[in-house]
């Protein structure tokens, strides 16, 4: 009897434990449901994000860009049409949302067939040229003079913000045709190089500055692809300006006009990346995920195990951001180096000779927190970053080896490359953004 009572008491205790566990599980479930109900919807979160970053219309370059980026789009290639379903099935849904806009270009901004040969297309992006040598290209630019003026106006705006939750008929951030923006940048660069070739230095510099501003506007958007595209656009503009400062007829008046606001020298990567990740997480709840189940499970595992947010290539993007920040800070140094040369007739022997005239933050290498390396040479000087490893490797850079980053002469100049004929079918967008050839001194002009 006593043994039977013990058995019954054991069963009763187990039932009580099970009831407690069930009660706890139900309580947790109810709490999760309550929190889910109280959690703002994706639409509400996007609206709050927009409200916090709202820009007055008079200060917002995005309104002008939206006007200029509309138009009849160039049909996408048959290959892209065939690949699109496959890409949608393997890409993060937000990445796919961004990728769709990357290929969109406006027919009006396509160079007319036969206007330039492939080599000339690259040369006019990089070298000064005259209207006499390329009269048809000059007439094509004149046809787009209103667009160029509007781009210059947009570049002067202090801010740029495309809404995440746009009103009907407005252009939202994920509606921006990045390919078309690349065409606009190419338009500005060709016009600037023509100004330089014709001796209109002030007009050319204004357009080079506009290229850097457009890149900066784009890279401040809370999305991965605008950031990735904006970084090289700004870098290309800064290369043009560095070429002018180091080898062109830079006067004090020109140098005063080229100064960059010191607030743009801050390292804002943490804020930018946090905004991008936050928007990606919000949008991931709002858009349909067409990926295979195994890919979604694997991403969920990596999110829990490694705290990843589905942003592939984030560390690479950070490295690119640090490099363009190097260029931005070096821009200040180059200006003061040129001021010294204009006064003394030669470049300084040590960077300390101009350090007191430079914004202190500009002297700090964002890649490692150290100083840049400056060395006099027979024909000028060298200025470079010692890269992420912080070791002076004589300005050398190669995959898996030295990681110094040259600031002057620029990487393309050191490579000693000339523009090569484009391979058949090469994307014009890549030619517009990639710094392939070296730049000649600005007192030389090319021939088409």
Q: Which portions of the chain are predicted below pLDDT 70?
A: 1-13, 31-39, 262, 309-310, 312, 411-448
CA 299 to chain centre: 25
Q: What is the pLDDT of residue 399?
A: 82
Buried b (16+ CB within 10 A) or exposed e, 298-335: ebeeeeeeeeebbbeeeeebeebbbbbbbbbbbbbbbb
Is the distance from CB of 72 to CB of 106 less than 8 angstroms? Answer: yes
pTM: 0.85
What order of strands is seen across the sheet that includes strand 373-377?
Answer: 373-377, 380-385, 405-408
Max CA pair span of the chain: 115
The reported pLDDT for the residue numbered 419 is 42
**What is the distance between the alpha carbons of residues 91 and 229, in angstroms, rounded to a whole number?**
18
Q: For residue range 383-392, what is the model confidence (pLDDT) as tens digits?
A: 999 999 999 9
Phi and psi at 73, nearest 5°, equal: -85, 150
**What is d(CA 422, CA 40) in angstroms, rounded to the nearest whole number?**
50
Tell me the two tokens of residue 270: 């943490």
Q: Which residues of 206-234 are buried (b: 16+ CB within 10 A; e: fewer)?
A: bbbbbbbbbbbbbbbbbbbbbbbbbbbbb
User: To which residue do tokens 């009660």 refer?
Assistant: 23
């Amino acid at each position: 009897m006593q043994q039977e009572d013990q058995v019954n008491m054991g069963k009763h205790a187990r039932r009580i434990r099970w009831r407690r566990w069930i009660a706890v599980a139900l309580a947790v479930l109810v709490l999760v449901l309550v929190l889910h109900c109280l959690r703002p919807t994706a639409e509400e979160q996007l609206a709050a994000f927009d409200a916090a970053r709202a820009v007055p219309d008079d200060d917002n370059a995005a309104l002008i860009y939206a006007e200029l980026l509309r138009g009849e789009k160039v049909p996408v290639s048959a290959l892209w049409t065939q690949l699109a379903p496959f890409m949608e099935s393997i890409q993060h849904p937000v990445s796919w949302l961004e990728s769709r806009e990357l290929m969109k270009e406006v027919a009006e901004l396509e160079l007319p067939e036969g206007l330039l040969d492939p080599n000339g297309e690259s040369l006019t992006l990089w070298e000064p040229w005259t209207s006499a040598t390329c009269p048809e290209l000059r007439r094509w630019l004149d046809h787009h003079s209103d667009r160029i003026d509007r781009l210059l106006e947009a570049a002067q705006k202090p801010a740029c913000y495309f809404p995440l939750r746009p009103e009907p008929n407005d252009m939202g951030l994920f509606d921006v045709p990045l390919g078309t923006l690349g065409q606009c940048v190419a338009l500005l660069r060709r016009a600037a190089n023509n100004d330089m070739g014709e001796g209109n230095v002030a007009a050319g510099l204004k357009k080079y500055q506009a290229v850097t501003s457009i890149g900066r506007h784009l890279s401040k958007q809370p999305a991965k692809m605008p950031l990735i595209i904006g970084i090289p656009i700004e870098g290309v503009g800064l290369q043009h300006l560095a070429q002018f400062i180091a080898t062109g007829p830079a006067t004090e008046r020109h140098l005063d006009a080229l100064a960059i606001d010191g607030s743009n020298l801050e390292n804002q990567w943490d804020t930018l990346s946090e905004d991008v990740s936050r928007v990606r997480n919000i949008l991931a709840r709002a858009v349909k995920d067409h990926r295979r189940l195994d890919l979604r499970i694997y991403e969920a595992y990596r999110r829990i195990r490694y705290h990843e947010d589905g942003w592939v290539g984030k560390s690479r993007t950070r490295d690119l951001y640090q490099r363009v920040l190097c260029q931005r800070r070096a821009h200040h140094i180059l200006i003061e180096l040129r001021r010294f040369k204009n006064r003394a007739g030669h470049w300084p022997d040590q960077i300390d000779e101009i350090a007191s005239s430079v914004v202190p933050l500009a002297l700090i290498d964002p890649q490692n927190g150290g100083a840049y390396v400056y060395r006099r040479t027979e024909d000028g000087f060298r200025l470079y970053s010692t890269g992420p490893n912080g070791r002076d490797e004589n300005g050398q850079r190669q995959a898996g080896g030295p990681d110094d980053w040259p600031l002057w002469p620029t990487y393309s100049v050191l490579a000693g490359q000339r523009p090569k004929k484009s391979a058949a079918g090469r994307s014009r967008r890549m030619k517009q953004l990639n710094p392939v050839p070296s730049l000649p001194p600005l007192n030389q002009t090319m021939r088409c």
